[in-house]
Amino acid sequence: MSRWGKREDMIVHEAEPYNAEPPPRALADRALTPVDTFYSRNHGPIPRLDPRAWRLSVDGEVERELALSLSDLRSGFEHRTLTATLQCAGNRRAGLIEVGDIPGEAPWGSGAISTAEWTGVRLADVLGAAGLGPRAAHVAFAAPDVAAEADPPQPYGGSIPVAKALAGEVLLAWGMNGAPLPAVHGGPVRVVVPGHIGARSVKWVHRVTAQERPSDNYFQATVYRLLTADADPSATGPGDGLSLGPVAVNADILRPGDGEVLPAGATEISGYAFAGERGVARVDVSLDLGDSWVQADLDERADPWAWRLWRVTLDLPVGPAVITARAWDTAAACQPESARHLWNPKGYVNNSWARIHVIGRD
């Protein structure tokens, strides 16, 4: 085992703070990602918190402020378990870096996305116990980890609109794949915001605040915003660019691997597709750069907040081949063809068509 209980073959973009993704073959063909394989994205040092000392304060535009221990949370509210995919806004950034340099940001491949079964209580139930005031339009989360990159230095935080916070799928979770939530994934308790960028699923959460405005935390107001291609990220400040929240339809190929040499003929191709709140409707795969497409089989839809794994068997020719895949969501929106026109200075939301190069052997 390498650090933080992760598998030895994790692709570690940064050791401190720890930022690592599994290789594509490790994610492939498994509806749930084992904890040792689940990607981890950290902006600061990972705190080791004592679950018995942990408290959650609920404050702001509420009728009653709450201070809840882990046992208060467990005994006071209905338990809920759901399967949800988390995807970092920087997933597949490597495809944008091929278009143009993105200094200072991790070159995530296909693996800044993973799926787990989360157990906890509904944020809506906890907010219900506090009683939301009429001016509450956003719900902000605060954590203790201080990122060196934050300007000015400050602990991690973020917020979601109150309508999302009151939707039953948003959890305060202490369990991951049936075990206590490990420190690296936010234990003792994290927020899980299914269908939104991973950044809103605040780990080690210790404060929930109902407020009129979105969080002014650096990671909400300045980072995780989509800038125009010509913007200078060092010259941008709070409120610049588009705030990222709900995720757009995306997909990638996990098997075979990019660059693999494999026998020509019938070849199984598999990967994931994820469309957040909208859901995945169809996945197409092409061996001729998109002139013609074959529809992949989607796994049974077990949970609305999870990715859909897909697979298809195609006749791989002898010689070099490009395998392309794209997903459609339930609004019939499709992934854009090329990363070229998606490039942005922080390298977010690369949801262009998935493409790998392989060689069919005679």
Ligand X SMILES: Nc1nc2c(c(=O)[nH]1)N[C@H]1C(S)=C(S)[C@@H](COP(=O)(O)O)O[C@H]1N2
Structure tokens at 176: 């991951």
Least separation in angstroms between residue 338's CB and Mo ion is 23
Exactly one of 61, 117, 145, 284 binds ligand X (CB under 6 A); that residue is: 145
Least separation in angstroms between residue 86's CB and ligand X is 6
Q: Is 308 in the site for ligand X (CB under 6 A)?
A: no
- Identify which of residues 42 and 344 has a Cβ nearer to ligand X in the complex: 42
Q: Which of helix, strand or coil describes residue 292? A: coil
**Considering CB distances under 5 to 8 angstroms, the limit depending on partner class, which of ligand X, Mo ion, none binds residue 321?**
none
Separation of alpha carbons 80 and 216, rounded Å? 30
Separation of alpha carbons 283 and 296, rounded Å? 6
- Identify which of residues 40 and 344 has a Cβ nearer to ligand X in the complex: 40
Residue 247 has what DSSP assignment? P
- The identity of residue 34, as a single letter, is P
- Where residue 123 falls (left for φ over 0; alpha for ψ -120 to 50; beta otherwise) is alpha
- Strands (DSSP E) contained in 63-178 are 66-69, 79-87, 113-122, 138-146, 155-161, 171-176
Separation of alpha carbons 221 and 242, rounded Å? 10
Q: What is the CA radius of gyration of the chain?
A: 21
Q: Is 225 in the site for Mo ion (CB under 5 A)?
A: no
Q: How many residues bind ligand X (CB under 6 A)?
A: 20
CB count, 10 Å around CB of 191? 24
Least separation in angstroms between residue 133's CB and Mo ion is 30
Separation of alpha carbons 52 and 62, rounded Å? 26
- Identify which of residues 219 and 353 has a Cβ nearer to ligand X in the complex: 219
Residue 132 has what DSSP assignment? B
Q: Is 353 in the site for ligand X (CB under 6 A)?
A: no
Exactly one of 6, 18, 35, 41 binds Mo ion (CB under 5 A); that residue is: 41
Q: Is 204 in the site for ligand X (CB under 6 A)?
A: yes
CA atoms within 13 A on the CB side of 122: 13
- Mark the segment that binds Mo ion (CB under 5 A) among 92-100, 140-148, 195-203, 287-295: 195-203
- Identify which of residues 157 and 279 has a Cβ nearer to ligand X in the complex: 157
Taking CB atoms, the residue at the shortest distance from Mo ion is: 88
Q: Is 225 in the site for ligand X (CB under 6 A)?
A: no
Structure tokens at 113: 């996305």
Separation of alpha carbons 181 and 222, rounded Å? 29
- Identify which of residues 156 and 274 has a Cβ nearer to ligand X in the complex: 156
- Identify which of residues 204 and 343 has a Cβ nearer to ligand X in the complex: 204
Q: Is 199 in the site for Mo ion (CB under 5 A)?
A: yes
Q: Is 203 in the site for ligand X (CB under 6 A)?
A: yes
Separation of alpha carbons 70 and 51, rounded Å? 7
**Considering CB distances under 5 to 8 angstroms, the limit depending on partner class, which of ligand X, Mo ion, none binds residue 141?**
none
Exactly one of 35, 58, 86, 312 binds ligand X (CB under 6 A); that residue is: 86
- Identify which of residues 26 and 132 has a Cβ nearer to ligand X in the complex: 26
Closest among 268, 264, 240, 266 to 254, alpha carbons compared:
268
For binding to ligand X (CB under 6 A), which residues are involved? 38-44, 86, 88, 143, 145, 156, 185-186, 198-199, 201-204
For binding to Mo ion (CB under 5 A), which residues are involved? 41, 88, 198-199
